[in-house]
Amino acid sequence: MDRILIRDLSTRCIIGINDEERREKQDVLINLTIFADLHQAGTSDRFEDSVDFRALKKLILNLVEKSSYHLIEALAEAIADVCLKDEAILQVKVRVDKPYALRFARSVGVEIARKRQT
């Protein structure tokens, strides 16, 4: 299956379970692998035949910046739900990283894969 990759989408949100984590927005990094049939777009060279990943990015940033989840797992699930609302997207892999969440680690992350329910 064809893929669109969005790498290192950086944003900030309230995320975490501790009081100090919930006082201020923290950095999160989002990586997406979007599975769709891109054959038509590849042959027609028409924007309308592909996934509008710019619009998708705006929807995701809006969701994340207004969110207040305790777990990055829940944030990843919400992002997957937004992606799968686009009927052209058949499957999505979402990775959410929380930089410097653990001492001595660059980041902590989760990765989920979700398919469109038929």
Residues designated as active site:
98
Sign of the CA dihedral running 70, 73, 76, 77: negative
**In sequence order, what E strands does the chain have?**
2-15, 26-36, 68-69, 91-99, 107-115
Pair type for strands 26-36 and 68-69 = unpaired
Query: Is the CB of residue 92 less than 8 Å from the CB of residue 80?
Result: yes
Cβ(94)–Cβ(85) below 8 Å: no
